[in-house]
Copies of this chain bind each other. A is one copy, B any other.
Amino acid sequence: MSAPETFAPRRDEPLFGRLAIIGIGLIGSSIAHAAKELNLARHIVLSDADPDVRRRARELDLGHEVAESALEAARDADHIVLCVPVGACGAVAEEIAPVLKAGAILSDVGSVKHAVVEAVSPHLPEGVHFVPAHPVAGTENSGPDAGFPSLFLNRWCILTPPPGTDEAAIARTRQFWEGMAAIVEVMGSQHHDLVLAITSHLPHLIAYNIVGTAEDLAAVTQSEVIKFSAGGFRDFTRIAASDPTMWRDVFLANKEAVLEMLGRFNEDLALLTRAIRYGDGETLHKHFTRTRAIRRGIVALGQEKAETEKLKKR
């Protein structure tokens, strides 16, 4: 089988023998697609707690095998990736711990890292390396049908190995993500949680909130909100369509950092609100001018094409 177009080079020799993917949502199924297409593991086994998802994964021919349980999937695996909601990582680690072999690398893909490190570490058997990972990539879709192999292309993947983690295990985990065309960065789990609180968690919370506010309006109908969404609202709805269980767990697991960012956000919003109420155009203009610099940085870094280029191609 040859892919019509390859987004990353296919390996001649697989990186891992047995790869176990626990949890078959958007991320899990995307890893399955990419790892198979790019020959990152000799044998790819998936599992999910939901029997319907396991059935669907078999229909989709994800990986090489769909096991009936996490335990069965993790047995003798060289690389185990937990792709379950952040709040479930501890329990799954506890469940599979008895079958993890020495030298295996346990990893995850959670959007919060410190809570995962704390939940997983107590269950880690001697000789198993724990290298937490967070691919900063996603779409508004979830479930086993949502995955596609190039999801991680040119996206960052942050590794947050606890101090003292085996360097070779970190290097192999890096190779795994770089093999799927991600760009890897290493940082501490607590710093990760602070960075993501502002770049991802707070934006999601705000988006979920504003879409809820719009839904509750009586004076403006939902069909009007939908019709005229191109004025800015649309982008919020995309973010607010993300998986509810995943995001519930993120906010519960990164509570401190999110509350801190929310506090700052509210203080700043109070200032802008006051400027609107008292007709202080100068304060508004000054604020709206300085926020342009960050945008220029993002476009310059190639994390997004300038919007006009995309629109002109319609």
Contacts and interface: CB of A to CB of B under 8 A. Distances in A.
A279 interface: yes
A260 to B, nearest CB: 9
A87 B230 CA distance: 23
Interface string A191-221: 0001110111111111111111111110110
Interface string A243-279: 0110111011001001101101110110011001101
Interface of A: 7, 87, 111, 136-141, 146, 148, 150-151, 153, 155-156, 158, 185, 194-196, 198-217, 219-220, 222-242, 244-245, 247-249, 251-252, 255, 258-259, 261-262, 264-266, 268-269, 272-273, 276-277, 279, 281, 284-285, 287-298, 301, 303-304, 306-308, 311-312, 314
Contact of A211 (B204, B232, B269, B291): B291
Nearest to A225: B199
Contact of A155 (B203, B230, B277, B295): B230
A288 B156 contact: no
A58 B252 CA distance: 57
Nearest to A141: B308
A140 B232 CA distance: 11
Given A140-B295, A140-B307, 10 more contacts: A136-B228, A140-B306, A203-B233, A206-B210, A226-B298, A232-B239, A244-B288, A248-B281, A259-B273, A266-B266
Nearest to A267: B213
16 contacts: A111-B231, A136-B230, A156-B227, A156-B230, A196-B228, A199-B228, A200-B228, A206-B210, A212-B287, A215-B290, A216-B264, A229-B298, A237-B291, A240-B295, A252-B276, A255-B279
A307 B139 CA distance: 7
Contacts of A216: 264, 268
Contacts of A201: 232
A150 B308 CA distance: 11
| Number of copies of chain A assembled together | 2
A292 B240 contact: yes
Given A215-B291, A216-B264, A227 B185 contact: yes
A231 B264 contact: no
A169 to B, nearest CB: 23
A61 to B, nearest CB: 18
A301 B238 contact: no
Contacts of A306: 140-141
B228 A203 contact: no
Given A141-B308, A209-B272, A303-B229, A252 B279 contact: yes
Contact of A203 (B111, B205, B231, B301): B231
A203 to B, nearest CB: 4
A228 B288 contact: no
Given A198-B233, A227-B185, A288-B244, A222 B297 contact: yes
Given A233-B203, A248-B284, A308 B212 contact: no
A251 B283 CA distance: 12
